[in-house]
Chain A
Amino acid sequence: MSGAKRQLGVISGVAAFPAAAQDGAIASVKDMTIERHTMSVLVDNEAGVLARVIGLFSGRGYNIESLTVAEVDAAKHLSRITVVTTGTPMIIEQIKNQLQRLVPVHGVTDLTVEGPSLEREMALVKVVGSGEKRVESLRIADIFRARVVDSTIESFVFEMTGSTEKLNAFINLMQPLGLADVSRTGIVAMKRGTESN
């Protein structure tokens, strides 16, 4: 699934992008397709850098489906922001260019188009229950290779890593078994192979 363009429907997306919608007569139908892209943004780890990135998205009306940020190189004060966004090809190109021109940004990689890449997400899932439901949740957790990281007589906290879809599937299965709380990291991503982002 990583690296694949996902179509989220043409009609629903159009209203969100009036500038692109007006352009309809020039742009082909293909250009109006809403695509989902994962971008990896390497930034200086300085005050306000995340606010700059988020402000750019909200100020220009771009979507954020997922966003993660953490320092990745303490010596060089570098952080990596992984952002999953949606838009027409023209909007995606804009987002990349707009990110690129922020002063503390070192580089932007569109992992969706630049070769195969990996995407992973982690979740903590709390399930409260007893009896057969409790046993069943443990059995399913085993199938999904989730780990138990906390346990009481009446609850488990599972830790699980995988694709967004896998996490969704697991969380859905826990719903009838006493799902009490979910905490997710959002997507982190990286290019496959020898090349760096």
Chain B
Amino acid sequence: MAAEPITGAEIIVKALIDQGVEVIFGYPGGAVLPLYDALFKQNKVRHILVRHEQAAVHAAEGYARSTGKVGVVLVTSGPGATNAVTGLTDALMDSIPIVCLTGQVPTHLIGNDAFQEADTTGITRPCTKHNYLVKSVEDLSRKIHEAFYVARSGRPGPVVIDLPKDVQQAKYEYVNHAGQRHRTYNPQQKPDRAAVERAVELMAQAKRPLFYVGGGAVNSGPLACKMLTDFVRLTGFPCTQTLMGLGAFPGSDPLSLGMVGMHGMYESNLAMHDCDVMINIGARFDDRVTGRLNAFSPGSKKIHVDIDPSSINKSVRVDIPVVGDVGHVVEEMMRIWKARQVKTDSKALAAWWDQINQWRARDCLKFKPSDSIIKPQFALQRLYEAVKQKDFYITTEVGQHQMWAAQFLKFEKPNRWMTSGGLGTMGYGLPAAYGVQVAHPEALVIDVAGEASILMNIQEMATLVQYRLPVKIFILNNKWMGMVRQWQELLHGGRYSESYSDALPDFVKLAEAFGARGLRAEKTGDLDDVIKEMIAIKGPVIVDVCVDEKENCFPMIPSGAPHNEMLLGPEDQSAKPVSEEGMVLV
């Protein structure tokens, strides 16, 4: 069937529709005008106008992570593309599926230092999973469909398609290439059965086992997380989660030990250190989790389930690698476990749980409450109490508030927690939050923010107001770049170089200037009412929570230290000075 030739821009829109794209986040410019014209003439794909291209990518990340779909971004050439680089790198580090369409100068001008020209494929090669420069309209449909396939398959990631303006205007027939098998890229989904059998055998003999669940479980989907939850409960083993893995296993389940890593729970980190069998499900032994590598869980045999073979044996040698998708692997594990009617060593497990409960009894999140000044931890405790009965979504910026949010908020389901884990991008939370809100218009979406991070993408307030997206921005305002200040206190003799934010805006007036609502809590007694009002307001709200300026985030594994040398609170700080090797690390 020979179709009518249509323009490249129309081909792109058709391909997006065929890929099931409902919304794209973008910002127009000269090199994408034909594409914006094609968008104007249709009403199947909704466009959200952002205020900065970095925010477009973060919004698409929030959309993708809360739905499991591919997030789509549209930006212009040159500065449009370079502004998107931070977001693309963020998505690469956290394995978020993104397709980013960038405009490009016409093909005959490429390499000519034309107006708003940048070598987009060159710049984005190291910060994308893959990228394309489409030089001919004949390749357009195939490459767009391929980009979606690459973005969501295997370990997901961002894909850039660079689209010269003349290619958008040239005419060709549209052919739907969705679902075509890729000639080279076909990542392994199903695990090698023998590897799974060996893993189950090792788990069956474990005396001090521990599940260590990461973002890969969330990426595998809600069904995979459900199977994983069933399997963990079947074994009765303790389960810790990484920052990216929160929600993959229910946070309030008694088997959950909470977050692991630098600011993770005391019980999680000591269990990591002392376990004899570690079952890593979709985590990547990130340096925030392992601490000092040569002291990382020295006595354990390690099982590592990952869809990306390059994650295996990258920094930590494992005993049983299992390459495959978490859902498929856990299903197979459970099948073998049940078929063999595995009997675990209940006596050893009981002793292990006794030990874990002793660690838990240290109550590592305890802090000195105050009747007057708001403790940031207390603010999050009250926030959690107010929202825990609802189906809430949380995004964060980066810093102390992010770690406190990870510690004090519990997630019962996957896809409810969006944070910049790998790259640690300040300014992520606000755009990610409205990305989530666009996908879930009725849901309660809260950006837990710091006053420094929020200013990095504050212009996005205009996007919230334009689309009436009722995102709640909960700022823990301590007037400092809190995490920087904490490290300066711990590592640099309290010389607070440039970490104090002078001349902060009045966030209540700022909200009002954008046409949103602003609230403030100054005393402990204000909190509950302010939180209640925040939730009750139908539109976007900024809540300025004035918190204790001096509070530090504990527990903490200082950089360069092993898990069993955690600092539990301020009284530990001076007792355990940070080593010189640790000073070098970030």
Interface residues of A (CB under 8 A from B): 19, 22-27, 44, 47-48, 51-52, 55, 59, 90, 93-94, 97-98, 100-106
CB distance from A21 to the nearest CB of B (A): 9
Q: Tell yes or no: B176 within 8 A of A by CB.
A: no
Taking A26-B317, A55-B125, A100-B309 as known contacts, 4 extra A-B pairs with beta carbons closer than 8 A to each other, sorted by chain A number, are A19-B315, A26-B294, A48-B131, A94-B314
> How far does the alpha carbon of A43 sit from the alpha carbon of B545 in the complex, in Å?
55
Chain B's interface: helix, strand, loop or mixed, by majority?
A: loop
Q: Tell yes or no: B129 within 8 A of A by CB.
A: yes
Q: Could you give 12 example pairs across A and B, Cβ below 8 Å? A: A22-B294, A23-B294, A23-B315, A25-B294, A26-B317, A55-B126, A94-B310, A97-B309, A103-B129, A103-B130, A103-B184, A105-B184
User: For residue B121, which residues in chain A have a CB less than 8 angstroms away from its CB?
Assistant: 48
User: For residue A25, which residues in chain B have a CB less than 8 angstroms away from its CB?
Assistant: 294-295, 298
Q: Pick the contact of B125 from A52, A90, A98, A100 — CB < 8 Å?
A: A52
CB distance from A91 to the nearest CB of B (A): 10
Given A103-B130, A103-B150, A103-B184, residue A90 in contact with residue B310 (CB < 8 A): no
Q: Give the size of the chain B interface in residues (CB under 8 angstroms).
A: 29
> How far does the alpha carbon of A108 sit from the alpha carbon of B153 in the complex, in Å?
20
Q: Would B125 and A48 count as touching, CB distance under 8 A? A: yes
Q: Which of B284-314 contact A (CB under 8 A)?
A: 292-295, 298, 308-310, 312-314
Given A48-B125, A101-B309, A103-B185, residue A23 in contact with residue B293 (CB < 8 A): yes
Q: Tell yes or no: B122 within 8 A of A by CB.
A: yes
Q: Pick the contact of B313 from A51, A90, A105 — CB < 8 Å?
A: A90
Q: Would A106 and B184 count as touching, CB distance under 8 A? A: yes
> How far does the alpha carbon of A19 sit from the alpha carbon of B295 in the complex, in Å?
13
Q: Which of A19, A59, A97, A102 gathers most chain B CB within 10 Å?
A: A97
Q: Which of B246-291 contact A (CB under 8 A)?
A: none
Given A97-B310, A98-B310, A100-B310, residue A90 in contact with residue B317 (CB < 8 A): yes
User: For residue B312, which residues in chain A have a CB less than 8 angstroms away from its CB?
Assistant: 97
CB distance from A47 to the nearest CB of B (A): 7
Q: Would B126 and A26 count as touching, CB distance under 8 A? A: no
> How far does the alpha carbon of A59 sit from the alpha carbon of B295 in the complex, in Å?
27
Q: Which of A24, A51, A101, A105 gathers most chain B CB within 10 Å?
A: A101
User: For residue B175, which residues in chain A have a CB less than 8 angstroms away from its CB?
Assistant: none
User: For residue B129, which residues in chain A have a CB less than 8 angstroms away from its CB?
Assistant: 103
- The residue on A at minimum CB distance from B560 is A22
> How far does the alpha carbon of A24 sit from the alpha carbon of B296 in the complex, in Å?
12
- The residue on B at minimum CB distance from A103 is B130
Interface residues of B (CB under 8 A from A): 121-122, 125-126, 129-131, 133, 150, 154-155, 183-185, 187, 292-295, 298, 308-310, 312-317
> How far does the alpha carbon of A102 sit from the alpha carbon of B185 in the complex, in Å?
8
Given A22-B294, A55-B125, A59-B126, residue A101 in contact with residue B317 (CB < 8 A): no
- The residue on B at minimum CB distance from A24 is B294
User: For residue A100, which residues in chain B have a CB less than 8 angstroms away from its CB?
Assistant: 309-310
Q: Pick the contact of B184 from A44, A52, A94 — CB < 8 Å?
A: A44
CB distance from B578 to the nearest CB of A (A): 16
> How far does the alpha carbon of A90 sit from the alpha carbon of B293 in the complex, in Å?
14
User: For residue A48, which residues in chain B have a CB less than 8 angstroms away from its CB?
Assistant: 121-122, 125, 131, 133
User: For residue B314, which residues in chain A have a CB less than 8 angstroms away from its CB?
Assistant: 94
User: For residue B130, which residues in chain A have a CB less than 8 angstroms away from its CB?
Assistant: 102-103
User: For residue A93, which residues in chain B have a CB less than 8 angstroms away from its CB?
Assistant: 313
Q: Would B317 and A22 count as touching, CB distance under 8 A? A: no
- The residue on B at minimum CB distance from A59 is B126
Identify the 5 closest CB pairs spanning chains A and B, nearest first.
Answer: A25-B294, A97-B310, A103-B130, A22-B293, A97-B309
User: For residue A105, which residues in chain B have a CB less than 8 angstroms away from its CB?
Assistant: 184
User: For residue A44, which residues in chain B have a CB less than 8 angstroms away from its CB?
Assistant: 183-184
CB distance from B132 to the nearest CB of A (A): 9
Q: Which of A24, A94, A106 gathers most chain B CB within 10 Å?
A: A94
- The residue on A at minimum CB distance from B150 is A103
- The residue on B at minimum CB distance from A97 is B310
CB distance from A152 to the nearest CB of B (A): 39
Q: Would A101 and B308 count as touching, CB distance under 8 A? A: yes
CB distance from A32 to the nearest CB of B (A): 12
> How far does the alpha carbon of A103 sit from the alpha carbon of B183 in the complex, in Å?
9
> How far does the alpha carbon of A90 sit from the alpha carbon of B285 in the complex, in Å?
15
Given A48-B125, A103-B129, A104-B184, residue A27 in contact with residue B317 (CB < 8 A): yes
CB distance from B557 to the nearest CB of A (A): 15
Q: Would A94 and B294 count as touching, CB distance under 8 A? A: no
CB distance from B149 to the nearest CB of A (A): 10
User: For residue A104, which residues in chain B have a CB less than 8 angstroms away from its CB?
Assistant: 184
Q: Would B313 and A19 count as touching, CB distance under 8 A? A: no
> How far does the alpha carbon of A107 sit from the alpha carbon of B125 in the complex, in Å?
20
Q: Would A51 and B122 count as touching, CB distance under 8 A? A: yes
User: For residue A98, which residues in chain B have a CB less than 8 angstroms away from its CB?
Assistant: 310
User: For residue B184, which residues in chain A have a CB less than 8 angstroms away from its CB?
Assistant: 44, 103-106
Q: Would B293 and A94 count as touching, CB distance under 8 A? A: no
> How far does the alpha carbon of A97 sit from the alpha carbon of B188 in the complex, in Å?
13
- The residue on B at minimum CB distance from A105 is B184
> How far does the alpha carbon of A183 sit from the alpha carbon of B481 in the complex, in Å?
55
Q: Would B292 and A51 count as touching, CB distance under 8 A? A: no
User: For residue B133, which residues in chain A have a CB less than 8 angstroms away from its CB?
Assistant: 47-48
Q: Would A94 and B150 count as touching, CB distance under 8 A? A: no
Q: Which of B293, B309, B316 gathers most chain A CB within 10 Å?
A: B293
User: For residue A90, which residues in chain B have a CB less than 8 angstroms away from its CB?
Assistant: 313, 317
- The residue on B at minimum CB distance from A89 is B313
> How far does the alpha carbon of A100 sit from the alpha carbon of B155 in the complex, in Å?
13
> How far does the alpha carbon of A25 sit from the alpha carbon of B308 in the complex, in Å?
26
> How far does the alpha carbon of A90 sit from the alpha carbon of B131 in the complex, in Å?
28
> How far does the alpha carbon of A48 sit from the alpha carbon of B312 in the complex, in Å?
27
- The residue on B at minimum CB distance from A19 is B315
User: For residue B315, which residues in chain A have a CB less than 8 angstroms away from its CB?
Assistant: 19, 23
> How far does the alpha carbon of A44 sit from the alpha carbon of B143 in the complex, in Å?
15
> How far does the alpha carbon of A22 sit from the alpha carbon of B290 in the complex, in Å?
12
> How far does the alpha carbon of A160 sit from the alpha carbon of B463 in the complex, in Å?
67
- The residue on A at minimum CB distance from B149 is A103
CB distance from B279 to the nearest CB of A (A): 19
> How far does the alpha carbon of A101 sit from the alpha carbon of B126 in the complex, in Å?
13
- The residue on A at minimum CB distance from B147 is A103
User: For residue B293, which residues in chain A have a CB less than 8 angstroms away from its CB?
Assistant: 19, 22-23, 26
> How far does the alpha carbon of A92 sit from the alpha carbon of B122 in the complex, in Å?
26
User: For residue B310, which residues in chain A have a CB less than 8 angstroms away from its CB?
Assistant: 94, 97-98, 100-101
Given A51-B122, A103-B130, A105-B184, residue A22 in contact with residue B292 (CB < 8 A): yes
- The residue on B at minimum CB distance from A31 is B317
CB distance from A3 to the nearest CB of B (A): 23
- The residue on B at minimum CB distance from A94 is B314
CB distance from B538 to the nearest CB of A (A): 45
User: For residue A51, which residues in chain B have a CB less than 8 angstroms away from its CB?
Assistant: 122, 125
User: For residue B150, which residues in chain A have a CB less than 8 angstroms away from its CB?
Assistant: 103
User: For residue A24, which residues in chain B have a CB less than 8 angstroms away from its CB?
Assistant: 294
> How far does the alpha carbon of A196 sit from the alpha carbon of B293 in the complex, in Å?
39
CB distance from A99 to the nearest CB of B (A): 9
